[in-house]
Homo-oligomer: A and B are copies of this chain.
Amino acid sequence: MDADTPSRIERLCIDRGLKMTGQRRLIARVLSEADDHPDVEELYRRALALDARVSIATVYRTVRLLEEKGILERHDFGGSRARYEPTEHGHHHHLIDVDTGRVIEFEDEAHEAVMQAIAARLGFELVGHRLEMFGRRVEPAPPPPVPSKARRG
C-alpha cells in the first residue's frame, strides 16, 4: 500500500471527523496492513519501523479512541495485554492454538443462531457476545522444538 494513499482505517477516521495527524495516519496505516491481532506494544514497534516520530502513549491513546469510535475491536486472548483488530468483516470469533499461540478466525451461522436462542430463552435481547476457543491441532506432524511461550494473564 502506498504511503500517500489514505489507508482504509484512515478513511474511516476521516469519515468520523477525526483530526488527522501524522501519527494517526501512521497508526491507521499499520492497522490497515495488519491481518493479525497485535497488541499495543507490537503496533508501536511496527509504527516505529515506518516513522520514528511516535510515542507509545499516542498509540495507546489512538487505539482507545478508535475503539470508542467503533473502528477497532479490543480482545483478551488470555495474555496480559489487550490485542486489537479492525472492525470490519462480519461477526467472527477466535480459535487460539494453545501450542503455537496462533489465532484462527472463524464465523459460524449455527453458533450465531444458538446465541440468539439462548438470549431469548433467558429473556434478553442480545447486544453482543464474545467467544474464544482454545484448541490443539489434531494429529499434526510432531510439534516443532519451539518452546511455547506460555504467558499467563
Give the interface of A toward B (CB within 8 A): 70, 76, 82, 87, 95, 97-98, 104, 106, 108, 110-111, 114-115, 117-120, 122-138, 152-153
Contacts and interface: CB of A to CB of B under 8 A. Distances in A.
Contacts of A87: 153
Contact of A119 (B95, B114, B115, B125): B95
Top-7 shortest CB links A-B: A124-B135, A129-B133, A128-B134, A130-B132, A131-B131, A111-B114, A125-B138
A70 B123 CA distance: 32
A132 B135 contact: no
A41 to B, nearest CB: 17
A75 to B, nearest CB: 11
18 contacts: A76-B76, A82-B153, A95-B118, A95-B124, A98-B128, A104-B122, A104-B124, A111-B111, A111-B114, A120-B138, A123-B138, A124-B133, A125-B135, A125-B136, A127-B135, A129-B134, A130-B134, A131-B131
A136 B152 contact: no
B125 A118 contact: no
